[in-house]
Amino acid sequence: KYILAVAGGGSTYTPGIIRSLMDRLEDLPLSEIRFYDIDGARQSKVVVAAKAVIAEYTDSILVTDTTDPQTAFENADFVFAQMRVGKYALRELDEKIPLSHNVVGQETCGPGGLAYGLRTIAPMIELIDYVEQYAKETAWIVNYSNPASIVAEGVRKLRPKARVLNICDMPVATMRNIAAILGVEREELVVDYFGLNHFGWFTRLEVDGIDRLAEVREHVYKHGLLTEDVSKIDYRHADSSWIKTFKNIKLIMDHFPEYLPNPYLQYYLFPDHIVETSNKDYTRANEVMDGREKTLFETVEKFEETGILEDSFAVGVHGTFIVDVTVSIAQNLGKRYVVMTENNGTIPNLPADAMIEVPAFITADGPKPEFVGDIPYFYKAMIEQQLASEKILVEAIIEGSYEKALQAFTLNKTLPSAKVAKAVLDDLIAANKDFWPTL
Ligand code: G6P
Ligand code: MN
């Protein structure tokens, strides 16, 4: 039986992930679950819900919540990492500061994502070092922490030997929508995909050996990446903002007659449209704080008063995916999932040291990417520009270099000029003074 630690235990995603773990106890038997967070007060509330979920299934798992790294990671087999450095207060600034300059305001894409990256690298390295110090030698960190592309590059550069698997639920969530469009189960869909995190394209959507990409594109062209019945899209991505995001894919279809883009590409390809249709005073961070966050804490309060746990956090692909990849590691199944991994010739015409997102076989030794081959020049050029922005940002953090931070911002496709890049960077430096290395 395994010991699992959840770093960022105070996350609103925790109860859903726990439910997913409980549904899979036969595949991933657990003796202990330890919740770890630097905000012990917030975590202790979330853990009330997590414990209630566990109690529905078993009383034989020892559950601890702690702010002490040794207590959390001693002898652990797996660590799920889902930290949000600066919490939603800083996400709000990541979104609103760029928007105040008429630039895309998004959690992981554009200047907000770069700002979030600047906050997250040091805490992520700290976590890796704790795990190295206390956990089993064979322990794996399965990492959802954003901005995943920049985090993956920082980890590759600063802790190249660390056993960290960087994952994101967007490819699998997109597959969920595609499966709904095709009227098949997500598990029946076999995809080819290449890119960086939140920056990639599906190139084949196979069901029973037949590529259905053209058919799916035809549907998306008319209706967006959605079915009429949105109940097939799970709670994580079924609110009005996500529905708008999935509808917007139509925009990309109009312009690019091949492949199926990751929804996040709209921020890079249509930043003007995104800014025009954004509310500068009430962004996604506000929606999440007033929605998902509030609901969870209300659910906990109600549970404490009545003993009834309302089902406000169904599992969804976010919860199932992290457990799927972990089971594949634990049992050395070599199952094929889209994850982040070092290129090393998988896409020969991209740099070998790029952290790319592609299908890989997930083994006890980590991800083994399937060969992709050279990609067409348009995609290569877009990816290399984004990659350069992210790699230079990580250098800026390590060297404390303002010049490099400005280069990283300037290279980001959401920023229209070096002048605007500098103005946004300077405002973000002021807002992040408690979090960033001195630039
Ligand atoms: C997707 C992405 C995550 C991101 C999340 C934001 O699932 O893959 O990387 O954090 O969406 O969703 P939210 O509902 O918080 O805006
Ligand atoms: Mn993601």
- Indicate if ligand 1 lies below 6 Å from the C-beta of 284: yes
- Indicate if ligand 1 lies below 6 Å from the C-beta of 84: no
In the sheet that 164-166 helps form, which strands lie side by side, from edge to edge? 62-66, 30-36, 2-7, 78-81, 140-143, 164-166
Q: Which structure tokens are listed for 116?
A: 């979030």
Q: Annotated active-site positions, please? A: 169, 264
Q: Which structure tokens are listed for 18?
A: 């726990």
Indicate the pTM of the whole model.
0.97
- Indicate if ligand 1 lies below 6 Å from the C-beta of 43: no
- Indicate if ligand 1 lies below 6 Å from the C-beta of 146: yes
CA of 38 to the centre of ligand 1 (A): 22
Q: For residues 313 and 294, what is the distance between their CA atoms, to the nearest angstrom?
A: 12
Average pLDDT per block of 10 residues along the chain, 439 residues long: 98 95 98 98 97 96 98 98 98 98 98 98 98 98 98 98 98 97 96 98 98 97 90 84 94 89 97 97 98 93 93 83 98 98 98 98 98 98 98 97 98 98 98 89
- Ligand closest to CA 287: 1
Decide if 107 contacts 115 (C-beta within 8 A): no
- Indicate if ligand 1 lies below 6 Å from the C-beta of 205: no
Ligand 1, atom 8, residue with closest C-alpha: 170
Residue 147 CA: nearest ligand 1 atom is 9
Q: What is the DSSP letter of 371?
A: P
- Ligand closest to CA 172: 1
- Indicate if ligand 1 lies below 6 Å from the C-beta of 266: no
Q: What is the predicted pLDDT for the residue at 312?
A: 67
CA of 84 to the centre of ligand 2 (A): 13
Kindly indicate whether the ipTM for this predicted assembly is greater than 0.90, answering yes or no.
yes
Residues listed for the chain: 439
Ligand 1, atom 2, residue with closest C-alpha: 170
Ligand 1, atom 11, residue with closest C-alpha: 170
User: What residues are neighbours of ligand 2 (ion), with CB under 5 Å?
Assistant: 168, 170
187-to-172, 173, 205, 241, 320 alpha-carbon distances in Å: 10, 12, 12, 26, 12
Decide if 150 contacts 120 (C-beta within 8 A): yes
